[in-house]
Amino acid sequence: MSKLDAKIPEGPLAEKWAKYKATQKLVSPNNRKKLDIIVVGTGIAGSPAAASLAEMGYNVKVFCFQDSARRAHSVAAQGGINASRNNKNDGDSVYRLFYDMIKGGDYRAREANVYRAAEVSSDIIDQLTAQGVPFAREYGGTLANRTFGGVQVSRTNYAQGQTGQQVLLGGYSALKRQVALGKATMYSRQQMLDIVVIDGKARGIITRNLITGEIERHAAHAVVLATGGYGTIYYLSTLAVQSNGSAAMAAYRKGAFFGNPSFIQIHPTCIPVLNEYQSKLTLMSESLRNDGRIWVPKAEGDKRKPKDIPDEERDYFLERRYPAFGNLVPRDVASRAAKERCDNGFGVGKTGLAVYLDFRDALAKQGKKVIKGKYGNLFAMYEKITGEVPYETPMMIYPAGHYTMGGLWVDYNLQTTIPGLFAIGEANFSEHGANRLGASALMQGAGDGYFIAPYTVSNYLADEISTKVPSTDSQEFIEAEKDAKAVLDKFLNIKGTQTATSFHKRLGQIMWTHSGMQRNEEGLKKALMEIADLKKEFWSDLIIPGTANEINQELEKASRVADFIDLAILIVNDALNRKESCGAHFREESRTEGGEAMRIDDKYSFVAAWEYQGIDKEPKLHKEDLKFENVEVKVRSYK
Site for another protein in 104-123 (CB under 8 A): 123
Between 199 and 276, name the residue whose CB sits nearer to another protein: 276
> According to CB under 8 A, which one of 315, 537, 554, 601 is a site residue for another protein?
554
> According to CB under 8 A, which one of 8, 76, 198, 469 is a site residue for another protein?
76
Measured distance CA(534)–CA(522) in Å, rounded? 18
Q: Count the residues in the chain.
A: 639
Between 134 and 323, name the residue whose CB sits nearer to another protein: 134
Provide, rounded to whole angstroms, the least separation between the CB of residue 250 and another protein: 21
At 248 the three-state DSSP class reads helix
Element (H, E) at 362: helix 360-366
> Is residue 71 a contact partner of residue 164, using CB atoms and an 8 Å limit?
no
Examine residue 52 and tell whether it contacts another protein (CB under 8 A). Answer: yes
Please name the residues in contact with 199: beta carbons below 8 A apart, sequence gap of 6 or more: none
Per-residue x/- mask for another protein, residues 197 to 216, rule CB under 8 A? --------------x-----
Measured distance CA(167)–CA(48) in Å, rounded? 10
Q: 296 φ, ψ to 5°?
A: -135, 165
Query: Which residues does the annotation mark as catalytic?
Result: 331
Q: How many CA atoms lie within 13 A of 536 on its CB side?
A: 5
Greatest C-alpha distance within the chain: 75
Provide, rounded to whole angstroms, the least separation between the CB of residue 603 and another protein: 40
Provide, rounded to whole angstroms, the least separation between the CB of residue 165 and another protein: 6
Stretch that binds another protein, among 63-71, 94-102, 400-408, 622-630 (CB under 8 A): 63-71
Measured distance CA(520)–CA(511) in Å, rounded? 12
Examine residue 29 and tell whether it contacts another protein (CB under 8 A). Answer: no
Provide, rounded to whole angstroms, the least separation between the CB of residue 272 and another protein: 12
Examine residue 129 and tell whether it contacts another protein (CB under 8 A). Answer: yes
Cα-Cα-Cα-Cα torsion 56, 61, 65, 70, nearest 10 degrees, comes to 30
DSSP E strand boundaries for 163-312: 184-187, 190-198, 201-209, 215-219, 222-225, 258-259, 264-270, 293-297
Provide, rounded to whole angstroms, the least separation between the CB of residue 342 and another protein: 21
For every residue of 223-235, DSSP letters joined together read: EEE-----GGGGS
Examine residue 496 and tell whether it contacts another protein (CB under 8 A). Answer: no
Measured distance CA(20)–CA(16) in Å, rounded? 6
Examine residue 131 and tell whether it contacts another protein (CB under 8 A). Answer: yes
Examine residue 90 and tell whether it contacts another protein (CB under 8 A). Answer: no
Please name the residues in contact with 303: beta carbons below 8 A apart, sequence gap of 6 or more: none
* Residues binding another protein: number (CB under 8 A): 81
Between 241 and 633, name the residue whose CB sits nearer to another protein: 241
Examine residue 454 and tell whether it contacts another protein (CB under 8 A). Answer: yes
Stretch that binds another protein, among 108-116, 240-248, 293-301, 580-588 (CB under 8 A): 240-248
DSSP E strand boundaries for 59-116: 59-63, 81-82
Stretch that binds another protein, among 67-75, 192-200, 456-464, 584-592 (CB under 8 A): 67-75
Provide, rounded to whole angstroms, the least separation between the CB of residue 373 and another protein: 9
Between 123 and 601, name the residue whose CB sits nearer to another protein: 123
Examine residue 509 and tell whether it contacts another protein (CB under 8 A). Answer: no
Between 128 and 256, name the residue whose CB sits nearer to another protein: 128
Contacts with another protein in 253-312 (CB under 8 A)?
274-275, 277-280, 282-283
> According to CB under 8 A, which one of 114, 240, 318, 626 is a site residue for another protein?
240
